[in-house]
Amino acid sequence: MVRAPVIQTRGLNKASNHQLKGIFVSAAKTALNCRRPNPLLDAYERIVEAGTKPNLARLTIARKIAAVVLAIWKTESEYRIMD
């Protein structure tokens, strides 16, 4: 029996919030243009060095930002910038 290849979805489905996705992608682009020390830029460079295309690496950074926002929102904790 031959299995059909699994289709990988990239990005959001049709029921997604495109405006919110745009906000997180823009936040990722802005974060990647900030000065060092910048953990998001370091993560981006590691992802690109591993062979991922730059646009998909930016999407990964946008997902990281979204995960942080969701965690802060769920725990109702205060965000502190680390010096």
Sketch the domain layout of the chain as residue ranges: 18-75
- Distance between CA atoms of 61 and 31, rounded to whole angstroms? 9
As a whole number, the mean pLDDT across the chain is 87
pLDDT class of 12 with cuts at 50, 70, 90: low
pTM for the full model?
0.76
Average pLDDT over every residue of 46-60: 95
* Ramachandran area for residue 11 (φ above 0: left; ψ -120 to 50: alpha; else beta): left
On whether the CB atoms of residues 27 and 65 are closer than 8 A, the answer is yes
What's residue 59's pLDDT? Answer: 93
